[in-house]
Structure 1
Amino acid sequence: MSRYNGMFFCDVDGTILPHGQREISPSFFSLVHEAKDKGYLFCISSGRFHLSLLPLFEQVENEVVFSASNGCRILYQGQELIPNHTIHPTDAEQITTSLLELGAIPLLSGKHAIHLPSASLKMEQDKGYLAKGFTRTFDVFSDIDDEILQITGVCRLNKEAILRESRRAWEDSYHVVTTGRELFDICPTSKGDSLVSISSHFGIPRENTYAFGDDENDIPMLRSAGKGYLMGTAHDNLKKHEFEHCHDLVGSIAAIIEQF
């Protein structure tokens, strides 16, 4: 029998962290503590690289599960909870080459770093993920000494065309999902698969899982949960899915907790 009554799976950007906001609201941390006292566990489920998540959630780092890179790397109290999901090196090299040829910037999320082609460094050097000290550049793919968990395509122009071509080439083998206005991820697993794996690990029944998200990569997670909530700020084309709509994440989760 699980020692937890249930589990909340929460996306970060656009959900816990509204777009344009840089810090997590203190009320969210209070909610994590309250939920823990009532026997509920939180999972921070994000497409982000794991090392970029830890500073945001330092106050509750040992109380939550981190499901990073869309579920490819899952950590709890500093330890790997479930083996990593990886992209085969041959595929990773081909995807990288293809994205460069299509005019996108490939960001390769590994176990130890984000890997960026040297030629793209000047274009990306003002971005936040380079300022954190966990990005490494490479000249040729063989320079990378790391497992590749997922690859993000950064599209300054022609995102729809690049996304369409990437889906044509890779969707039979990998999940290809949008994660932002200029971004899409190519990933060997999904947030939905990670929800199933994590809740199973802790012995939590599916009907006692609740998920909150706002973008295409969140849809598998919302579908896999006992109940999925789509943020009111989500793109209109996602609102065709039959999920509950949520306009205030902290308030909505608090209301669910109070039901128990």
Structure 2
Amino acid sequence: MGTYKLIALDMDGTLLNEDKKISDENREAIQQATALGKTVIMSTGRGAISAMPYIEELGLNTPLVVVNGSEVWESPTKLHKRTLLATETVRNLHTLAQEHDCWWWAYSVDQGVFNRESEQLDIEGQAWLKFGFYTENPEKLQRIRGIVENWGILEITNSHPSNIELNPRGISKASGVEMVCQLLGIQMSEVIAMGDSENDITMIREAGLGVAMGNAQDEVKRIADVTTVTNEEHAVAKVIRTYMLQD
């Protein structure tokens, strides 16, 4: 049996197809892996509320990494660790979005996702996990990225070429997966990590086997150990069967 004990899966663009569904092939391979004692976890930019229906669909009771690592759950019902953005930082990011007339969104612990269309935004009254910008104007996006890079306090990634995702410095999918490894008593060398976007790079780089999706951004493909097929071609099933279920 394959030596890898855990597979960490990005969701959008990786586990999920373009209709945001889990294919029968991917579901069956995940079930085969778990039946053999392998651990399958989600490692996603989504918040826990958004990820949970898929966790339930798969019948998983394993740890999960959500909001790009700002929350690590020991199980779907037990939070292990949460790392917050400073309120002042969120206020400054919100001001930056307004100054650049840019779509923005932000994850709060208690009330989920806020965005530019939210009628009530109480920055001081919420605990914040992640902030994001979206614009199809690449020059504007680069200007914003340059400004927040100069602050030196944020982990800066994306989940799409037209967005920026911001977490506290040092918080990433890799830090989340490493924490899961500590909980389970395994090493990062025993992990497969799969993803398609910049927010997947840290875990793909640090895993024993880093897998870029066929539909991944070019930078992800450059740093991955292998590049597989696309999310429309049941890539998760292919990787599980190749690297976890083979003798």
TM-score by length of 2: 0.86
**Alpha-carbon distance in structure 1 between the residues aligned to 2:66 and 2:110:** 13
**Alpha-carbon distance in structure 2 between the residues aligned to 1:54 and 1:153:** 24
Matched residue, 1:178: 158
How far did 1:214 drift? 0.7
- Structure-2 change in CA distance of 1:88 and 1:161 (3 Å): same
**Alpha-carbon distance in structure 1 between the residues aligned to 2:133 and 2:223:** 25
- Structure-2 change in CA distance of 1:137 and 1:202 (3 Å): farther
How far did 1:139 drift? 4.2
> Where does 1:174-253 land on structure 2 (aligned, <5 Å)?
174-188=154-168, 189-247=171-229, 248-253=235-240
Matched residue, 1:86: 84
SS of the equivalent of 1:15 reads coil
Aligned letter for 2:28? S
Matched residue, 1:256: 243
**Alpha-carbon distance in structure 2 between the residues aligned to 1:167 and 1:48:** 24
How far did 1:140 drift? 5.0
Aligned letter for 2:184? F
After superposition, the C-alpha distances for 1:60-97 in whole angstroms (9 at most, x for unaligned) are: 3543322111011122131102x101101111111111
SS of the equivalent of 2:210 reads strand
How far did 1:137 drift? 4.2
Q: Which runs of 5+ in 1 are unaligned?
A: 122-135
> Conserved in 2, the CA contact under 8 Å of 1:196 and 1:224?
no
From 99, 102, 106, give the equivalent of 1:101: 99
**How large is the RMSD of aligned CA atoms in angstroms?**
2.2
Matched residue, 2:68: 70
After superposition, the C-alpha distances for 1:183-224 in whole angstroms (9 at most, x for unaligned) are: 220011111111111111110122211100111110001011
Worse-matched range after superposition: 214-223 or 71-80? 71-80
> Where does 1:132-147 land on structure 2 (aligned, <5 Å)?
137-139=119-121, 141-142=123-124, 145-147=125-127
From 123, 148, 151, give the equivalent of 2:128: 148
> Conserved in 2, the CA contact under 8 Å of 1:102 and 1:162?
no
**Alpha-carbon distance in structure 1 between the residues aligned to 2:68 and 2:91:** 20
Aligned letter for 1:165? I
From 21, 24, 41, give the equivalent of 1:23: 21
Matched residue, 1:133: none
How far did 1:29 drift? 2.6
**Alpha-carbon distance in structure 1 between the residues aligned to 2:55 and 2:64:** 10
**Alpha-carbon distance in structure 2 between the residues aligned to 1:201 and 1:38:** 20
Matched residue, 2:45: 47
> Conserved in 1, the CA contact under 8 Å of 2:131 and 2:166?
yes
Matched residue, 2:7: 8
How far did 1:37 drift? 1.9
- Structure-2 change in CA distance of 1:94 and 1:253 (3 Å): same
